[in-house]
């Protein structure tokens, strides 16, 4: 098969991309203006007044979760490595059933705005809230840095803006959504983004399959014919099985500890709606990752790994290049705008959950001991949004040019080892205590950060050492069981009778909701 | 202990049993796939039909299995769990 020449409009500001891009911004700012008029209380600001439907929340969850890294990164990885990239496609989905089975419904019935509400419910507020806020902020900050640095690079590649301009633009628009429109605007931005992303990926996959008689197998066969049958089987990426298992644990249990995902369950009216919304989200996200099989191999066969790497060594431009080849500059413009919308929506969701930890968990619950006026709560929430937004932009600029790809898997590792064990034990285990909860969250966070620092990711790839003390790239295999063990051991050694007594009420509320009160 | 609370405890056990069984199913599916990737390279390279290697097929099946497991849970919750909760709430009034 003859490859098309490498001439591409990527990196030059093209009119169609700009039109889509400003179209998206005007529509979402219109939504924000509409949402701002409806955001009068903290319940509106954090939880969209709890009126979001299952379908809406399903799309919004998918929108919150599917980042530009998964759209551009996995398509790029598959197009340059073949099967190895698919290991990630499957890994990113398997956390969702776990969220449904273990977390979604109890969380909805037990909490109000943050997952700390649930952990702290029958325990002593102050220490638990502080530990949970640290876990939340660590997860959110690492995730935000990875998204912002990725965003700056991608927008520079696609639109030709400077890196700093791109970061500031993303920051301003994102702060606009969250500050004025709160969760109502954030939810609708996620929905618009999820619809755009699914549409873009579906169209692209259909255009690929059109060239292969609608048969994915023919597409894979063409890839094997051009690049050897090795691209259809495991290659060098998974050289250490323990590494793969450790990353798998972080992805599987980390999803159930991501603050911006957990927060979404408070936007629906009841546990049944929460359940249906995860079902819909799992369907959408699964479909999306199945499509990445087609997009990745499509880009490999039609564009070619060499061309893809010549535009961006990381392979991130595989999907945009494929779009340009199949649908010309207009389709490239559409896909570029979709990628941008994807970034904006994810950072908005992250910022809102970080602001909730700062204002609801730290300011209102710890500093004001729960005695803040409603008006003050809303003011502090907005102030926290603004502060976090500015910090995000500053971090994005600080980390320019750094290798931050590992930060997403680090965020998942902390979510899996700090937030998830505390949350699960709090709703599952009668004898869990305040000291146990604080220990499991602290051990999870500190051990994860320490082991990442000692891992080959930092020591070899970034600091350039010959070897690393800790052999795994992702520490979840060690830190997740460690956090469970530490939390349980401390709870066993020093029982807390009041916490155990509160469990009966928790149990009732888990199943019967607030109606039982 | 009140009868309502006994029934509630029973319901709680049933939900956790279901949740943990399905979670184990997901864990086994995914880590089984990862173990195949790590230790069964030659098996995964077998092409079931031209182009469709066992690796790609199993990868797609992991996604399908996630769908099936979530569907099983939602079915159980709608047809067993929800009616039991409603009955409990009614008996409290």
Identify the CATH number of the domain in which residue A52 sits. 1.20.1730.10
Q: Which residues of B touch A276 (CB under 8 A)?
A: 74
**Would you call A90 and B33 a contact, using CB atoms and an 8 Å cutoff?**
yes
Question: Look-up: residue for tokens 């290049």?
Answer: A321
- Nearest 5 degrees, angle CA A268-CA A271-CA A276? 75
> Domain containing A186: what range?
39-401
Which residues are paired to B49 by β-bridges?
Answer: B52
Q: Are A402 and A145 in contact (CB under 8 A)?
A: no
Helix orientation angle between A163-210 and A54-65, rounded to the nearest 10 degrees: 110
Per the domain annotation, does A67 fall within a domain? yes
**Would you call B9 and A278 a contact, using CB atoms and an 8 Å cutoff?**
no
**CA dihedral in degrees (A358, A362, A364, A366; nearest 10)?**
180
Per the domain annotation, does A239 fall within a domain? yes
Contacts of A161 (CB under 8 A, 6+ apart): A13, A155, A169
Burial category of A23 from C-beta neighbours within 10 Å (exposed 0-12, middle 13-18, buried 19 and up): exposed
User: Per-residue pLDDT tens for A302-313?
Assistant: 999 999 888 888
Domain count, chain A: 1
- Nearest 5 degrees, angle CA A47-CA A111-CA A410? 85
Separation of CA A423 from chain center: 18
Question: Rounded to a whole number, what is the distance in Å from the CA of A189 to chain B's nearest CA?
Answer: 26
pLDDT band at A146 (very low <50, low <70, confident <90, very high): confident
Alpha-carbon span A60 to A44, nearest angstrom: 16
**Would you call B51 and A232 a contact, using CB atoms and an 8 Å cutoff?**
yes
Give the pLDDT confidence score for residue A32 in this predicted structure: 95
Q: Are A190 and A57 in contact (CB under 8 A)?
A: no
Average pLDDT for A428-443 = 95
Minimum Cα–Cα distance from B81: chain A residue: A511
**Would you call A86 and B56 a contact, using CB atoms and an 8 Å cutoff?**
yes
ipTM exceeding the 0.90 mark: yes
pLDDT band at B93 (very low <50, low <70, confident <90, very high): low
**Would you call A511 and B45 a contact, using CB atoms and an 8 Å cutoff?**
no
**Would you call B8 and A512 a contact, using CB atoms and an 8 Å cutoff?**
yes
Give the pLDDT confidence score for residue A260 in this predicted structure: 95
User: Per-residue pLDDT tens for A38-93?
Assistant: 999 999 999 999 999 999 999 999 999 998 777 888 888 899 889 988 888 888 99
Question: Rounded to a whole number, what is the distance in Å from the CA of B84 to chain A's nearest CA?
Answer: 10
- Nearest 5 degrees, angle CA A276-CA A359-CA A108? 20
Which residues are paired to B47 by β-bridges?
Answer: B53
The per-residue DSSP string of A427-474 comes to: HH-TT--HHHHHHHHHHHHHHHHHHHHTSHHHHTTTT--S--SS--SS
Question: Rounded to a whole number, what is the distance in Å from the CA of A505 to chain B's nearest CA?
Answer: 10
Per the domain annotation, does A60 fall within a domain? yes
Q: Does B12 touch chain A (CB under 8 A)?
A: yes
Question: Look-up: residue for tokens 């398509």?
Answer: A75
Taking 60 as the threshold, does the pLDDT of residue A315 lie above it?
yes
Per the domain annotation, does A353 fall within a domain? yes
**Mutation target among B49, B50, B53 for the A interface, most CBs of A within 10 A:** B53
Contacts of A37 (CB under 8 A, 6+ apart): none
Alpha-carbon span A123 to B30, nearest angstrom: 35
Per the domain annotation, does A471 fall within a domain? no
Minimum Cα–Cα distance from A509: chain B residue: B8
pLDDT band at A243 (very low <50, low <70, confident <90, very high): confident
Per the domain annotation, does A480 fall within a domain? no
Taking 90 as the threshold, does the pLDDT of residue A172 lie above it?
yes
Over chain A, what is the mean pLDDT?
A: 90
**Mutation target among B59, B82, B85, B92 for the A interface, most CBs of A within 10 A:** B59
3-state secondary structure of A235: coil
Q: Which pairs with CB-CB distance under 8 Å and at least 24 residues apart come from A12-17? A: A12/A160, A13/A159, A13/A160, A13/A161, A14/A329, A14/A332, A14/A333, A15/A333, A16/A329, A16/A330, A16/A332, A16/A333, A16/A334, A17/A158, A17/A159, A17/A332, A17/A333, A17/A334, A17/A336, A17/A337
| Portion 39-78 of B in contact with A at CB < 8 A | 39, 41-42, 44-45, 47, 49-53, 55-56, 59-60, 62-64, 66-67, 69-71, 73-74, 77-78
Taking 70 as the threshold, does the pLDDT of residue A124 lie above it?
yes
Q: Which two tokens stand for residue A14?
A: 């093209």
Which residue from A238, A241, A275 is facing B77, i.e. has the nearest CB? A275
**Would you call A97 and B23 a contact, using CB atoms and an 8 Å cutoff?**
yes
Give the pLDDT confidence score for residue A237 in this predicted structure: 66
Question: Rounded to a whole number, what is the distance in Å from the CA of B52 to chain A's nearest CA?
Answer: 5
Q: Are A504 and A278 in contact (CB under 8 A)?
A: no
Q: Does B24 touch chain A (CB under 8 A)?
A: no
Per the domain annotation, does A193 fall within a domain? yes
DSSP-H helix ranges across A235-373: 241-254, 259-263, 271-302, 305-311, 318-356
Q: Are A118 and A111 in contact (CB under 8 A)?
A: yes
* Residue A441, CB-side half-sphere exposure with 13 Å CA sphere: 30
Q: Does B90 touch chain A (CB under 8 A)?
A: no
Minimum Cα–Cα distance from A226: chain B residue: B51
Question: Rounded to a whole number, what is the distance in Å from the CA of B63 to chain A's nearest CA?
Answer: 6
User: Per-residue pLDDT tens for A487-506?
Assistant: 999 999 999 999 999 998 89
CA distances (Å), A341 to each of A26, A395, A449, A497, in order?
12, 20, 31, 50
Alpha-carbon span A213 to A236, nearest angstrom: 31
Give the pLDDT confidence score for residue B1 in this predicted structure: 60
The whole model's pTM is what?
A: 0.93
Per the domain annotation, does A470 fall within a domain? no
Q: Which residues of A touch B47 (CB under 8 A)?
A: 229, 232
Alpha-carbon span A415 to B31, nearest angstrom: 19
């Amino acid at each position: 098969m003859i490859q098309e020449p490498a001439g591409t409009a990527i990196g030059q500001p093209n009119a169609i991309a700009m039109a889509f891009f400003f179209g998206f911004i005007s529509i979402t700012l219109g939504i924000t203006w509409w949402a701002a008029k409806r955001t009068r209380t903290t319940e509106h600001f954090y939880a969209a007044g709890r009126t979001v439907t299952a379908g809406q929340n399903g799309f919004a969850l998918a929108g919150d979760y599917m980042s530009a890294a998964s759209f551009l990164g996995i398509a790029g990885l598959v197009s340059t490595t073949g099967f190895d990239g698919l290991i990630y496609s499957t890994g990113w989905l398997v956390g969702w059933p776990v969220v449904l089975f273990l977390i979604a419904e109890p969380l909805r019935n037990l909490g109000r705005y943050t997952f700390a509400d649930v952990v702290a419910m029958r325990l002593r507020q102050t220490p638990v809230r502080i530990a949970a806020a640290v876990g939340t902020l660590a997860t959110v900050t690492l995730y935000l840095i990875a998204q912002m640095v990725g965003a700056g690079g991608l927008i520079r590649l696609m639109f030709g803006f400077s890196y700093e301009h791109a970061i500031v633009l993303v920051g301003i628009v994102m702060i606009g959504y969250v500050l004025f429109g709160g969760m109502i605007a954030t939810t609708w931005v996620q929905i618009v983004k999820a619809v755009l992303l699914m549409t873009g990926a579906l169209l692209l996959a259909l255009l690929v399959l059109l060239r292969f008689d609608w048969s994915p197998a023919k597409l894979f066969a063409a890839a094997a014919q051009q690049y050897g049958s090795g691209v259809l089987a495991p290659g060098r990426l998974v050289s250490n099985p323990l590494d793969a298992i450790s990353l798998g644990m972080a992805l599987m249990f980390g999803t159930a500890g991501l603050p911006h995902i957990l927060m979404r369950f408070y936007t629906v009216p009841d546990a049944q709606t929460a359940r249906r919304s995860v079902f819909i989200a799992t369907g959408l996200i699964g479909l999306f990752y199945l499509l990445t099989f087609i997009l990745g191999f499509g880009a490999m066969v039609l564009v070619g790994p060499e061309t893809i790497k010549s535009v961006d060594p990381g392979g991130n431009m595989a999907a945009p290049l494929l779009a340009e080849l199949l649908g010309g500059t207009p389709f490239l413009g559409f896909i570029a705008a979709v990628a941008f919308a994807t970034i904006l929506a994810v950072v908005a969701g992250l910022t809102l959950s970080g602001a909730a930890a700062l204002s609801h968990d730290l300011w209102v619950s710890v500093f004001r001991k729960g005695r803040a006026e409603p008006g003050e709560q809303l003011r502090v929430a907005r102030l926290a949004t603004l502060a976090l937004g500015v910090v995000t932009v500053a971090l994005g600029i600080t980390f320019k040019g750094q290798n931050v790809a590992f930060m997403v898997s680090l965020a998942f590792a902390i979510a899996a080892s700090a937030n998830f064990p505390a949350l699960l034990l709090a709703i599952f285990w009668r004898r869990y205590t305040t000291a146990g909860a604080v220990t499991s969250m602290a051990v999870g966070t500190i051990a994860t950060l320490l082991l990442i620092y000692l891992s080959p990711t930092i020591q070899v790839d970034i600091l350039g050492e010959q070897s690393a003390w800790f052999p795994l790239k992702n520490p979840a295999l060690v830190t997740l069981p460690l956090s469970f063990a530490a939390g349980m051991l401390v709870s066993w050694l020093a029982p807390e009778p009041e916490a155990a007594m509160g469990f009966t009420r928790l149990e009732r509320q888990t199943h019967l909701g607030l109606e039982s009160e | 202990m009140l009868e309502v609370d006994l029934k509630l405890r029973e319901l709680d056990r049933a939900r956790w049993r279901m949740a943990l069984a399905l979670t184990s199913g997901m864990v086994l599916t995914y880590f089984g796939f990862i173990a195949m990737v790590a230790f069964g390279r030659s098996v995964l390279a077998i092409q079931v039909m031209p182009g469709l290697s066992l690796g790609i097929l199993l990868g797609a099946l992991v996604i399908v299995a996630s769908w099936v497991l979530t569907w099983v849970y939602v079915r159980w919750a709608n047809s067993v769990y929800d009616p039991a909760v409603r009955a409990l709430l009614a008996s409290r009034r």
